[in-house]
Amino acid sequence: MHRVHNFSAGPAILPVEVLQKAQEQLVDYQNSGSSIMEKSHRGAEYVEVHEGAIEQLKQVLELGDDFEVMFLQGGASTQFLSVPFNLLSENETADYINTGAWSKKAIKEAQAFGHVNVAFDGSKESFTRIPRQDELHLNADAKYVHFTSNNTIFGTQFATEPQTNGVPLVCDASSDFLSRPINVKDYGIIYAGAQKNLGPAGVTIVIIRKDILSGISKTNIPTMLDYRSHAGAMFNTPPVFPVYMVKLVLDWIQEKGGISYFEQFNQEKAALLYNTIDDDDFYRGTAEISSRSLMNVTFRLATEELEQRFLKEAASHDLMALKGHRSVGGIRASIYNACPMESAEALASFMKDFRSKNG
Ligand SMILES: Cc1ncc(COP(=O)(O)O)c(C=O)c1O
């Protein structure tokens, strides 16, 4: 078996133990004579997987009984639309914090439904930082405050939740979901595509507080986008294989010691890379230091030519998928939960070596 050091931003590396477990069970799930993909989603075996995953997610995040967990399709991008479709009406306002390309997409969708107050606009500073609390122009009457907890493209991350004086937070947590503890009680909705920190592409996790759910009164929501269709019970065929994989990843997270284990582990990996960047000015981190992401470490070298050489040589050392997002260029190392310490170490060591040869 040959596994590279995989720094892909998403779909991203999965724990090798999870892939092996899935491989073991693929053809004949628990001696049932068929795979989990070939069974009714209403049958006992799949229902156990589905409900087990919901229960485990509740435990890992300490959600208690105040939240519904749903496994939907359409990616986080569909949630950009579903959130305002369910929560925002024409004469109402929602606050959106614009910290990058994904926030911008969420804003665009919401503008079709009601008034969007952009509480902070990071575009003026090329999205290099997260706003301070005192920079947020929040609206006391807002239906919700939307933020992107981690900006996958720009390598920035909120260190803590924005304070909203009781207005529920709606969070696109696609690229840092389950990477650290959160203040659950501040959230109305948390959504995330699974393909970075939680499983393969094809399932979107949506967590909604029950009082927000029961407060939805709009009548024009298409059935598949209406949260009320999906909460509490499966409405239609869920993405059974991705949900099964999510369940295996949740087992793995719990075996490792839960979210607090990953908080520490992710801090250690990120520190290794940021310390290497900060050693001198050969590498230049693109995010302001206080806004740096623990999930996506973004940096530049002196010239694009040198960056190309860096990527090429890195690949020859099995250090893969380090190219920055096509919209910003540079280098990006995505080091989600499943990225092992050895990969961060191998990258840091390659960076030092490359610097000594080219600096
Ligand atoms: C923060 C964030 N939000 C949303 C998306 C879009 O997710 P999807 O492709 O699941 O629609 C991404 C994808 O990379 C992302 O990083």
Residue closest to 62 by CA, chosen among 190, 214, 161, 229: 190
- Measured in degrees and rounded to the nearest 5, phi and psi for residue 151 equal -100, 95
- Cα(353) to ligand 1 centroid in Å equals 33
- Beta strand 145-148 with 169-172 is parallel
Measured between its terminal Cα atoms, the distance across the chain in Å is 35
3-state DSSP call for residue 313?
A: helix
- Cα(327) to ligand 1 centroid in Å equals 14
Distance separating alpha carbons of residues 192 and 83, to the nearest angstrom: 12
153 CA closest ligand 1 atom index: 16
As a dihedral over the C-alpha atoms of residue 182, residue 185, residue 189, residue 191, rounded to 10 degrees, the angle is 20
201 CA closest ligand 1 atom index: 10
Distance separating alpha carbons of residues 170 and 141, to the nearest angstrom: 15
Q: Specify the residue with its C-alpha closest to ligand 1, atom 4.
A: 76
Instruction: Name the residue of 152, 179, 191 whose CB sits within 8 Å of the most ligand 1 atoms, as the mutation to test its pocket.
Output: 152
80 CA closest ligand 1 atom index: 4
Residue 252 designated active-site: no
Catalytically annotated residue among 196, 247, 269, 323: 196
Residue closest to 199 by CA, chosen among 170, 177, 171, 228: 177
Sign of CA pseudo-dihedral 118, 120, 125, 127: negative
Q: Which residues contact 163 (CB under 8 A, 6 or more apart)?
A: 133
150 CA closest ligand 1 atom index: 1
Q: Residue 60: what pLDDT? A: 97
- Cα(28) to ligand 1 centroid in Å equals 33
CATH architecture, domain defined by 17-256: 3-Layer(aba) Sandwich (3.40)
78 CA closest ligand 1 atom index: 11
Q: Residue 242: what pLDDT? A: 98
Q: Residue 359: what pLDDT? A: 87
Sign of CA pseudo-dihedral 84, 88, 92, 96: negative
3-state DSSP call for residue 115?
A: strand
> How would you write the pLDDT of the chain (359 residues) with one tens digit per residue?
899 999 999 999 999 999 999 999 999 999 999 999 999 999 999 999 999 999 999 999 999 999 999 999 999 999 999 999 999 999 999 999 999 999 999 999 999 999 999 999 999 999 999 999 999 999 999 999 999 999 999 999 999 999 999 999 999 999 999 999 999 999 999 999 999 999 999 999 999 999 999 999 999 999 999 999 999 999 999 999 999 999 999 999 999 999 999 999 999 999 999 999 999 999 999 999 999 999 999 999 999 999 999 999 999 999 999 999 988 999 999 999 999 999 999 999 999 999 999 98
Q: List pocket residues of ligand 1, CB cut-off 6 Å.
A: 10, 75-77, 102, 148, 152, 172, 174-175, 193
Residue 196 designated active-site: yes
Sign of CA pseudo-dihedral 124, 329, 359, 351: positive
Structure tokens at 278: 């900060």
CA atoms within 13 Å, Cβ hemisphere of 3: 14
Q: Specify the residue with its C-alpha closest to ligand 1, atom 10.
A: 75
Distance separating alpha carbons of residues 268 and 348, to the nearest angstrom: 12
Distance separating alpha carbons of residues 78 and 94, to the nearest angstrom: 18
Q: Specify the residue with its C-alpha closest to ligand 1, atom 1.
A: 174
- Cα(358) to ligand 1 centroid in Å equals 35
Q: Which residue has the tokens 């992401």?
A: 293
Q: Specify the residue with its C-alpha closest to ligand 1, atom 12.
A: 174
Structure tokens at 244: 């099964």
- Cα(356) to ligand 1 centroid in Å equals 36
- Cα(127) to ligand 1 centroid in Å equals 16
Catalytically annotated residue among 95, 172, 176, 226: 172
Q: Residue 249: what pLDDT? A: 98
Q: Given phi > 0 = left and psi -120 to 50 = alpha, else beta, which region is 209?
A: beta
Residue 141 designated active-site: no
Q: Specify the residue with its C-alpha closest to ligand 1, atom 5.
A: 76
User: Residues 22, 248: contact at Cβ < 8 Å?
Assistant: yes
The DSSP H or E segment spanning 304 is helix 304-316
- Cα(198) to ligand 1 centroid in Å equals 13
User: Residues 106, 84: contact at Cβ < 8 Å?
Assistant: no
Class of domain 257-358: alpha beta
Q: Residue 303: what pLDDT? A: 97
**Residue extents of the structural domains in the chain:** 17-256, 257-358
DSSP string, 213-249: HHT---S---GGG-HHHHSSS--S---HHHHHHHHHH
Rounded (10°) angle between helices 258-278 and 341-358: 0
Cα-based distances in Å from 247 to 57, 172, 240:
9, 21, 11
Sign of CA pseudo-dihedral 99, 104, 106, 110: positive
